[in-house]
Structure 1
């Protein structure tokens, strides 16, 4: 009889269905682990334990009254830091990075140099998209941190 489905046909179809399903799942899981490892912040538990220190540093920064304006582009960033009176803040040693929101391996380290009084600049090449600008003083002088989202076009 032609076209009759036997037990062997059903077994082959069921095994084929599960083989395709398992193969697709294995490919997707492998790609997921290669592109995002999960925890993006190293030692997040210890950061939580030291949160009171973070709050104290934010309070010390608020007392300073410094403000920062950032002009970020695909090829660099200009950062202007002024005090409460609007005067430029000079002589800071700043360490920074452009953080990728999903993959720390794509972060870009910034070498910020003071180009004129209160104006700090760094050159880099970044692809367009969502980023986070993180800049902090290097430990000498008053604590100052900038952490703001950017959309580079």
Structure 2
């Protein structure tokens, strides 16, 4: 038809044939789905350095909850391993015991005795002197040494005669503040009781 009309529409027939060839060539080219094209576009997209993205939000959330969990775990471990503050099992019985000891303490103070306590090179020495300045003979004694703020370093003491009526016991104490409670047999109806708060440095009292 184009050949018979070549004299009338030569340009039109040539354009139509060229268009048909282009269409056939385009059909042979494989095409990608639109979704794949969008995915590749998102992968290749670059963000400005100062732009807040979802990754930044994720990092903030992980850091926030990580700090909270870390603090809670640390406090739980410290609470479980440190001193609980527990002192007596029954406060009523403890109050009665306190009143009894207070009365005994007043009777003991009326004696006018003075104690001498020292610590040198890991040896604790305890002695009593009466009102006249004479040394009292102590036959035996016991006691306990404890920290002022916890119960992790308690030491039980067994004091034995060491000459001149004094008592001695071997004990190694770390530097710091300690409370020493001693019960000494001094020929009285009840043991002579004393409590001392001392500072230890280089294995000696300061």
TM-score normalised according to structure 2 size: 0.64
> What is the CA-CA distance between 1:134 and the residue it aligns to?
0.9
- Indicate the structure (1 or 2) with the bigger Cα radius of gyration: 2
Q: Which residue of 1 aligns with 2:73?
A: 26
Deviation at 1:143, TM superposition (A): 3.9
Match of 1:78 in 2: 125
How far apart in 2 are the matches of 1:113 and 1:132?
A: 20
Query: How far apart, in 1, do the equivalents of 2:109 and 2:139 lie?
Result: 17
| Structure 1 portions without partners, runs of 5+ | none
Q: Give the whole-Å Cα distance in 1 for the aligned partners of 2:61 and 2:82.
A: 32
C-alpha separation in 2, matches of 1:54 and 1:142 = 11
- Counterpart of 2:156 (choices 109, 112, 119) is 109
Residues 2-151 of structure 1 aligned to structure 2 (within 5 Å): 2=47, 3=49, 4-6=51-53, 9-39=56-86, 41-43=87-89, 45=91, 46-73=93-120, 75-137=122-184, 141-151=189-199
1:78-103 Cα shifts (integer Å, max 9, x gaps) = 11111121111114431112112222
| Cα distance in 1 for residues equivalent to 2:189 and 2:160 | 16
Work out the CA distance in 1 between the residues paired with 2:128 and 2:157: 16
Given the superposition, is the C-alpha separation of residues 49 and 59 from structure 1 closer, same or farther in structure 2, using an over 3 Å criterion? same
How many residues end up aligned between the 2 structures?
Answer: 152
Q: Counterpart of 2:40?
A: none
How far is the alpha carbon of 1:48 from its aligned partner?
Answer: 2.2
2: CA distance, partners of 1:49 / 1:142 = 18
Query: Secondary structure of 2:115's partner?
Result: strand
| Structure with larger RCO (C-alpha < 8 A, sep 6+) | 1
- SS at 1:36 equivalent: coil
Q: What's the secondary structure of 2:161's corresponding residue? A: strand
What is the TM-score with the length of structure 1 in the denominator? Answer: 0.83
User: For residues 93 and 75 of structure 1, what CA distance do their matches in structure 2 show?
Assistant: 19
Q: Tell me, what secondary structure is at the counterpart of 1:117?
A: coil
Range that drifts further, 111-120 or 88-97: 88-97
